[in-house]
Amino acid sequence: MDEKTIYLGSGKTINENFRIISVNISDAEEQGLITEFKGKKYLRLKINNRKTPDNYGKDLSVAYDKYEPPKKD
């Protein structure tokens, strides 16, 4: 089942070891994507290289990672 990707931000590669991303926390909260575990809040993200940079030179896309581990019986 192919679900629609939920994009939450973008970023830019500075060099091979350093990247900067921005994440829209408000959208993540509104969509209920932030999970809680042992009193701490988490947001699971996928950071992918774009095929071509956008008009602002951003070459990374940031999306919500929908992976859920299999439940144990």
**Residue 24 · residue 33 · CB < 8 Å:** no
Q: DSSP E strands: which ranges in the chain?
A: 7-15, 18-23, 35-37, 40-42, 45-49, 60-64
pLDDT, residue 71, reads 79
pLDDT, residue 70, reads 78
pLDDT in tens, 4-52: 899 999 999 999 999 999 999 999 999 999 999 899 999 999 999 999 9
Residue 1 has pLDDT above 60, yes or no: no
The domain spans of the chain are: 7-64
